[in-house]
Amino acid sequence: MKNPLETLIIPGGILLLGFLSALLLPAPSFGLQMAKQIQSTLHLQDLNQLYTIIYCVWFLLMGTVEFFVIRFLWRRSSAR
């Protein structure tokens, strides 16, 4: 019997894994010149805004990658 909250628990756990991975794996770091160029291109006020956007995108990317990896492994193991 499946848990009715399974559709909420599984993605929540995967996002938690993505959050932990985002903390453990270093986010991309730009040189000062490149960061200033990106800041001016995106019309940001300071570098803090740029790195906030980078960390948010990094967190979402890690969660998405882990979601698909875990889903692939889960489906592969349940197909046997």
18: in domain: no
19: in domain: no
Per-residue pLDDT tens for 6-22?
777 777 877 777 777 77
55: in domain: yes
Q: What angle do CA 56, 57, 59 make, to 5 degrees?
A: 65
Domain count, the chain: 1
Per-residue pLDDT tens for 27-74?
778 899 999 999 999 999 999 999 899 888 888 788 778 778 887 888
Give pLDDT, residue 40: 94
41: in domain: yes
Give pLDDT, residue 15: 75
13: in domain: no
3: in domain: no
- Tell if the pTM clears 0.75, that is, is over it: no
